[in-house]
Structure 1
């Protein structure tokens, strides 16, 4: 009964789909960010008289084009694992290149180092953050590492042509406020310590985000594995116990602990099955019987019943346990009529016994193997009623506890009957056939 649960392939497939959705979402966020940058730069131009280099708009346009191109191949046969790393590398290096080479203001001889001081590394943070949407900690670490390396490379390129470089170390002990202002406002101030500090914080943020993504992946895979395990258990149990019971056991194992419940028990048997099977190939008999009993189980399920067990050429079903029903008596009778129709279509005649009352229901067995069952006087009475239907020549017999829940025009009183194995006569009713 126990089977190995396949996890790797389903988990990988679902995770890959989640990564693809995340990458597409990152591209959406990336496009929104580029749009915001367009508005910010253009708005600054119009509102504050700040005239940026027009190449900035070209760079932003290329960002958008690259993102759209990447989105168009995600999930297609042209998609490759290295593409996302390439796209993030291009994005990050494009920003770093802009800081290294693109003049801050067109037509002015302004040191390029001022781009680092006027704008800053926070332009790279959204790209690292968006990498988390891919659910790939490696991509997050890659984006953070490229951002740090690219930022330092851009910084060294920007200061490489400077004849004079000032930094915080050039302040002497006891420096005055004027000394601080002169140093900080100087066009030669490069702030090497600031670059180290900001890249350090970027790397710390990268590590935290990568750890968060790794944890998210573990949670995702655990949930997928748990779902796969539940599906596998349901499929496995379904071959040994009714599907409804298997699902109930998975959702709420305590619901199947032995307890007394009111229910209606249906016992069905094929009349004359021994004569039917005589002279026919066993394979033909079993195939026909399987088809018939499968149809019976479906009819019972449609009426909120559960097949507890198959008894050779018959079955026993319960209504009201373990699956609750508001109208178990009416559902049981409707199921009985449906079984008669199913039997006629299959060329069989059947007998049915129906009894209502308390039953002990629950799982029994060892710790390794269990079965759900119902037992008690109600179960015995239903079985005796099915057997007595042969004596009275009726298709369906039911007891008084069930009869009192049904309309009188559906019933025919058969009077007190001595059922085999019972000491006291039982009031028995049969159903009027629809």
Structure 2
């Protein structure tokens, strides 16, 4: 189609210029030679183009992935086909221009050569743009192997220049050929100007349509992909089917999606290590050694007789049992708005009120303690649970290069000491009186006074509470 457009331009220009009187008597010789060259060019050009296409797309036909060299060769297909077309048209300029110069004047030869050059330029430009559009499936797979980076074989600017030249340059140069040299054009230029204007409109519409398709389609896909990424999808990938800046943009969108997916994966891993609340705190306040004093409720869980357990069972079996226990701890604490701050071997420290402020940390901690006790009561491990409240420092502890979120205060120590005594208590839970007094009445009604205990390392005795024992089933008579 591109060659037909170019031939039409040449025919139109030669008809508008008229046949020079100096070559009129030898016109049949030039026509025969021109026809022979056109036939030869069609045969050579077709064979050459078929060879390039088969060599370039053999991997596409076989349905396999291209090598990097095959991918680069495929990306050069529009340039290669345009080069073939341009070479054959230049040959026509030399052959037909020389014959015209032999039988006429150099001015006659110049007019014919310029007409053929304009047709050749139009053919080359249309060949490039059309090949890029038709070969997009091939280029999509090729660009997946060799994405556009660095120097680009074809930029959007160059495409626009080609489009402008096809839409405006060819017709305007044609006008100059027809109108300016008086002896090369008819006496009345109006019909010529009309014909050239129509030619410009047709070429402009065709070239602009090809360019619009080449630019609008990938940009539309990019917009859809970005919309999906904005909605939270991270598995979105855009087919890279362009070797210009658009291809680089497609690559960047894919890199963006991969980067966001990697960030979410790291955040998920980070959250699993330190807890989602700590992740949000770190993102909000950054990597600084900062914190504040808050009124928190600490819940400490420790396995009963873990030393004997480790001596009797293989290590992997011990870990399996602990993971089952900690799964219940994480579920119960998370359900009631707390944070599992850290696992310490066979123990776990849970905090209510930091880093996220809690409306009623005491009530939630007591409910979580009962939920943990109920979840593991029929399990493979026995445990003790201690609950205490009070002011504590909550924040980053360590150095600028290595730190962790932690909670330090008397409430944490008191909860750990209560756990030691809870292992011998019937309900396996002991809470300080301050926690029970701070909870809501409905929760307080589920607890009873346990007694006064002297906790290790504390100067004053501690009043402790425990859950009411479950009601016993009635005796059968």
TM-score in terms of structure 2 length: 0.50
The 1:255–1:382 alpha-carbon spacing in structure 2 relative to 1, beyond 3 Å, is: farther
Query: Which residue matches 1:259?
Result: 292
Contact 1:141/1:206 (<8 A) preserved: no
1:167 maps onto 2:175 in alignment = yes
Q: Output the CA distance in 1 between the equivalents of 2:451 and 2:374.
A: 27
Aligned partner of 2:28 in structure 1 is none
Alignment of 1:159-198 (within 5 A): 167-172=175-180, 181-185=190-194, 187=195
C-alpha distance in 1, partners of 2:192/2:311? 109
Give 1:432's aligned residue. Answer: 468
> Whole-Å Cα distance in 1 between the matches of residues 461 and 452 of structure 2?
6
Deviation by residue 1:351-375 (Cα, 9 ceiling, x = unmatched): 2111223321222223443222111
When residues 350 and 207 of structure 1 are mapped into structure 2, their CA distance, relative to the original with a 3 A threshold, is closer
**Residues in 2 aligned to 1:182 and 1:314: alpha-carbon distance in whole angstroms:** 97
Q: Secondary structure at the match of 2:354?
A: coil
Q: 1:388 Cα shift?
A: 3.6
Contact 2:321 2:380 in 1 (8 A): no
Mapped contact 1:167–1:193 kept (Cα < 8 A)? no
Hey, what's the Cα distance between the residues in 2 that align with 1:414 and 1:202?
A: 85
Residue by residue over 1:53-95, the C-alpha shift from the partner in whole angstroms, topping out at 9 and shown as x without a partner, is: xxxxxxxxxxxxxxxxxxxxxxxx969889xx99x99xxx9xx
> Which structure's CA Rg is the greater one?
2
Structure 2 unaligned segments of length 5 or more: list them.
1-61, 83-125, 220-243, 471-477
Provide the C-alpha distance between the structure 2 equivalents of 1:265 and 1:379, rounded to a whole number of angstroms.
6
Partner residue of 2:386 out of 344, 350, 353: 353
Q: How does 1:111-122 map to 2 (within 5 A)?
A: none
Correspondence for 2:350: 317
Question: Could you tell me whether the CA contact under 8 Å between 2:178 and 2:189 is conserved in 1?
Answer: no
Work out which of the residue numbers 322, 332, 336 in structure 2 matches 1:299. 332
Provide TM-score, normalisation by structure 1.
0.54
Query: Are the structure 2 counterparts of residues 277 and 371 from structure 1 closer, same or farther at C-alpha, using a change threshold of 3 Å?
Result: same
Residues 300, 415 of structure 2: 8 Å contact kept: yes
Q: Give me the whole-angstrom Cα distance separating, in 2, the residues matched to 1:328 and 1:359.
A: 13
Secondary structure of the 1:346 match is coil
1:265 deviation in Å?
1.0
Bigger Cα displacement from structure 2, 337-346 vs 324-333: 324-333
Q: Does 1:224 pair with 2:258?
A: yes
Match of 2:245 among 211, 223, 235: 211
Does 1:409 find its partner at 2:445? Answer: yes
Separation in 2, partners of 1:181, 1:383: 102
Call closer, same or farther: CA 1:199–1:398 in 2, change over 3 Å: same
Question: How many pairs were matched up?
Answer: 314
Alignment match, 1:384: 417
Could you say which structure has the higher helix fraction?
A: 2
Change (3 A) 1:348 1:202: closer
**RMSD value over aligned CA atoms?**
5.6
* Cα displacement string for residues 273-307 of structure 1 (whole angstroms, at most 9, x for unaligned residues): 34444544444334323332333333333333222
1:287 matches 2:320: yes
Superposition deviation, residue 330 in structure 1: 2.9
Q: Secondary structure at the match of 2:345?
A: coil
Question: Using the alignment, how far apart are the partners of 1:387 and 1:145 within structure 2?
Answer: 78
Q: Note if 1:422 corresponds to 2:422.
A: no
Q: Please state how far the C-alpha of 1:422 moved relative to its aligned partner.
A: 1.9
CA contact (8 A) 1:263 1:318 kept: yes
On the 8 A contact 1:418/1:426 being kept in 2, the answer is yes
Return the offset for 1:214.
2.0
Q: 1:90-148, CA deviations, whole angstroms, 9 ceiling, x for partnerless residues?
A: xxx9xxxxxxxxxxxxxxxxxxxxxxxxxxx9xx89x97xx8xx897979959999999
Residue 231 (structure 1) shift? 0.8
For the structure 1 residues 147 and 389, does the alpha-carbon distance in structure 2 shift closer, same or farther, using more than 3 Å as the test?
A: closer
Change (3 A) 1:141 1:331: farther
Gap runs ≥5 in structure 1: 1-76, 94-120, 160-164
Q: Give, in whole Å, the separation in 1 of the partners of 2:384 and 2:445.
A: 21
Q: What are the equivalent positions in structure 2 for 1:267-282 lying under 5 Å apart?
A: 267-282=300-315
